[in-house]
Amino acid sequence: MASRRLRAFKRWMKSQGIQCSDTLDFMDCPQQGISVRALSDLHEGDVVAKIPKTACLTIKTSGAREMIESAGLDGHLGLSVALMYEKSLAQDSPWAGYLQLLPPQECLPLVWTLGEVDSLLSGTELHKAIKEDKTLMYEDWKENILPLVYSAPQSLNPSSFSVKEYFAARSLIASRSFQIDEYHGFGMVPLADLFNHKTGAEEVHFTSVSPNQEYEDDVDSENGDNNELSKISGHDKRDSTCENSYIHSDSESDYSSVTGEDPMMLQMIMVREVKSGDEVFNTYGSLGNAALLHRYGFTEANNPFDIVNIDLELVLKWGCSLFSSRYCRTRLSLWRRINISGSVSENSEYFEVSSDGEPELELLTLLYIMLLPDDTCHKLDISICTADKVSANIGMILAEKHDITWSTSSEISKDLLLTEKVCRALLALADIRESCYGSKSIDEDVEALERCCMTERKLYHSLMLRISERRILEKFRTYATAGAQSQTFQDANGTSTRKRLKKH
């Protein structure tokens, strides 16, 4: 039997013209929240819901629209005001039937106390990002929301727009909002936000249908909430899927800008077969556990998109333990002069280690240059002015050292950079990165997770994140150890490394 809040939500959906297929059933579990299951077999192409955009809570549809636009607020900041405003109206809000279904806030690290962030996330990819988020969002509230409350033409209850309510609204928006279109921007999409995530298991997605076209492909948008997500998602170079489905239609936005109205419907369409009784999943993107916890408040076991980042700062710390600061700066400058750099997020430069423990080529190249003999390094310095492509400088040195063929169409092979010294450097970096987690071993973290109950969400998911990252560091060590053993075997047997550089 449906819970009282679900029955109220269904009545509200009907009043708003939201059409939901009878093949969908909503389960309300006190521990895990709401999930959507199939009452009968669902097939690819089945339309299981239609949602008018007028039913979505956006800046354009909110009763606070004039106040928000007069203050020049937009994006997530403006939507936060709209959400807080509608919540302040309680039963008088047109979205009361929807809002009563939402929790007061989502259990994102954003709303954890600073003490919890420090104790639970220390050493993880999230620790620094969350503390920066909290600082920046407090400044947003102080500079934009607080003045608005006291200068608004209508009477607003300050307690409904407090910093606590603002953070709560941002947590709901971060985990539940969708980029609808150019006219509406971000918005809360009732019904669409009830489908749970499963990596690589998208079964339903959203499309926008206009009078002039049939189904539009959905386009994933970049996360507009914070600039750290690229660093913790592990897909800044390959995948910007950091937001819920983005429905975009040029003809639609053109129509809206002229008429001020939007007749379009959002549709939820099955893209995979689902058997009767099974849960119907959406996917929020190819995200590692750091990104999932950051934005949605949960983690997944054996997540193939997990990563660990090694900050350039840690690499320099390692370098200064062996060489002078001047030496390290000189080698770093040389590395940059051949147009190589790590990934950059805000003021942080870092190198990604993938879920299988393999570091980025940029890190290996930097370590290789840091460890080059002075005469070879001088030769590299001179060759920079004459090389035709970025990797040619290092490539020519590798070709000469390993007696291999070099051509201008070649790219550097990681294997050739894995000298014994570079492998030792990787092991040292693994130890430095591991030390960030504190004195507890990974075995102690695993034991703590086994004792932990799922109801202890903060502890459970922070342990999942710590363990997933430390597992990658274990693989990182294995990668470095295997490289060192291979190099030792070659040296012991006097074998020439006759490998060709990789071709594009």
Task: Single out the residue in 296, 330, 365 at which a domain terminates.
Answer: 296
- Written as six digits, the tokens of 408 are 């201008």
Do 364 and 274 lie in a common domain?
Answer: no
In this structure, of 181-190, 307-316, 397-406, the range with the lowest mean pLDDT score is 397-406
Taking the C-alpha atoms of residue 50 and residue 466, their distance in angstroms, rounded to an integer, is 40
**What angle, rounded to 10 degrees, do the helices at 420-435 and 312-322 form?**
120
Task: Single out the residue in 296, 331, 363 at which a domain terminates.
Answer: 296
CATH number of 482's domain? 3.90.1420.10
Contacts of 49 (CB under 8 A, 6+ apart): 18, 19, 20, 21, 24, 191, 192, 267, 268
Q: Residue 397: is its pLDDT beyond 90?
A: no
Task: Tell me what pLDDT residue 209 has.
Answer: 53
On whether residue 358 sits in a domain, the answer given is yes
- Written as six digits, the tokens of 193 are 């936000």
The model's confidence at residue 285, banded by pLDDT at 50, 70 and 90, is confident
Do 39 and 183 lie in a common domain?
Answer: yes
Q: Residue 370: is its pLDDT beyond 70?
A: yes
Per-residue buried b or exposed e for 453-465, using 16+ beta carbons within 10 Å of the residue's own CB: eeeeebbbbbbbb
Task: Tell me what pLDDT residue 263 has.
Answer: 57
Q: Residue 167: is its pLDDT beyond 50?
A: yes
Q: Residue 20: is its pLDDT beyond 90?
A: yes
Task: Tell me what pLDDT residue 389 has.
Answer: 45
Taking the C-alpha atoms of residue 24 and residue 276, their distance in angstroms, rounded to an integer, is 10
Q: Residue 244: is its pLDDT beyond 50?
A: no
Do 245 and 342 lie in a common domain?
Answer: no
CB 130 within 8 A of CB 121: yes
Average pLDDT over residues 174-193: 90
Do 32 and 149 lie in a common domain?
Answer: yes
Other beta carbons less than 10 A from residue 159's beta carbon? 10
CB 199 within 8 A of CB 306: no
Q: Residue 411: is its pLDDT beyond 70?
A: no
Task: Tell me what pLDDT residue 322 has.
Answer: 96
Task: Tell me what pLDDT residue 416 has.
Answer: 81
**Cα three-residue angle 314-423-377, rounded to 5 degrees:** 80
Average pLDDT over residues 132-161: 91
Taking the C-alpha atoms of residue 161 and residue 88, their distance in angstroms, rounded to an integer, is 8
**Cα three-residue angle 62-187-63, rounded to 5 degrees:** 5
Closest Cα to residue 176, out of 250, 267, 106, 276? 106
Give strand pairing partners of 159.
Answer: none
pLDDT in tens, 419-438: 999 999 999 999 999 999 99
The model's confidence at residue 33, banded by pLDDT at 50, 70 and 90, is confident
Average pLDDT over residues 261-269: 74
Domain, as residue range, for 9:
4-296
β-strands 57-58, 185-188 pairing: antiparallel
On whether residue 301 sits in a domain, the answer given is no
pLDDT in tens, 302-354: 999 999 999 999 999 999 999 999 999 999 998 888 777 888 876 789 999 99
Q: Is 435 exposed, middle or buried (0-12, 13-18, 19+ CB in 10 A)?
A: exposed
Task: Tell me what pLDDT residue 345 has.
Answer: 79
Task: Tell me what pLDDT residue 314 has.
Answer: 96
Average pLDDT, the chain: 83
Q: Residue 92: is its pLDDT beyond 70?
A: yes
Do 353 and 251 lie in a common domain?
Answer: no
Question: Scanning the structure block, which residue is given the tokens 């050739």?
Answer: 416
Do 262 and 319 lie in a common domain?
Answer: no
Task: Single out the residue in 272, 296, 320 at which a domain terminates.
Answer: 296
Task: Tell me what pLDDT residue 338 has.
Answer: 77
CB 369 within 8 A of CB 331: yes
Do 93 and 199 lie in a common domain?
Answer: yes
Residue 471's alpha-carbon distances to 430, 456, 474, in angstroms, are 11, 22, 5
- Written as six digits, the tokens of 123 are 């050493």
On whether residue 402 sits in a domain, the answer given is yes
pLDDT in tens, 221-240: 333 344 445 577 654 433 33
Task: Tell me what pLDDT residue 148 has.
Answer: 92
Q: Residue 471: is its pLDDT beyond 90?
A: yes
**What angle, rounded to 10 degrees, do the helices at 289-296 and 457-493 form?**
160
Question: Left, alpha or beta for 234 (phi > 0: left; psi -120 to 50: alpha)?
Answer: left
In this structure, of 115-124, 128-137, 202-211, the range with the lowest mean pLDDT score is 202-211
On whether residue 138 sits in a domain, the answer given is yes
CATH number of 42's domain? 3.90.1410.10
Closest Cα to residue 234, out of 165, 306, 186? 306
Do 232 and 342 lie in a common domain?
Answer: no
Residue 442's alpha-carbon distances to 123, 128, 425, 453, 469, in angstroms, are 12, 21, 22, 18, 10
Taking the C-alpha atoms of residue 6 and residue 21, their distance in angstroms, rounded to an integer, is 15
Do 292 and 312 lie in a common domain?
Answer: no
Task: Tell me what pLDDT residue 308 has.
Answer: 96
Do 319 and 372 lie in a common domain?
Answer: yes
Q: Is 198 exposed, middle or buried (0-12, 13-18, 19+ CB in 10 A)?
A: middle
- Written as six digits, the tokens of 400 are 């000469």
At 352 the three-state DSSP class reads strand
pTM as predicted: 0.83
Do 322 and 446 lie in a common domain?
Answer: yes
Other beta carbons less than 10 A from residue 308's beta carbon? 28
On whether residue 117 sits in a domain, the answer given is yes
pLDDT in tens, 52-91: 999 999 999 999 999 999 999 999 999 999 999 999 999 9
Indicate the number of domains in the chain.
2
Taking the C-alpha atoms of residue 285 and residue 287, their distance in angstroms, rounded to an integer, is 6
Task: Tell me what pLDDT residue 31 has.
Answer: 72
Q: Residue 377: is its pLDDT beyond 90?
A: no
CB 296 within 8 A of CB 199: no
Task: Tell me what pLDDT residue 423 has.
Answer: 96
Contacts of 354 (CB under 8 A, 6+ apart): 234, 307, 472
Task: Tell me what pLDDT residue 394 has.
Answer: 62
**What angle, rounded to 10 degrees, do the helices at 374-383 and 392-402 form?**
130
In this structure, of 170-179, 239-248, 270-279, 369-378, the range with the lowest mean pLDDT score is 239-248
Do 312 and 289 lie in a common domain?
Answer: no
pLDDT in tens, 437-448: 999 999 999 999
CB 294 within 8 A of CB 232: yes
On whether residue 302 sits in a domain, the answer given is no
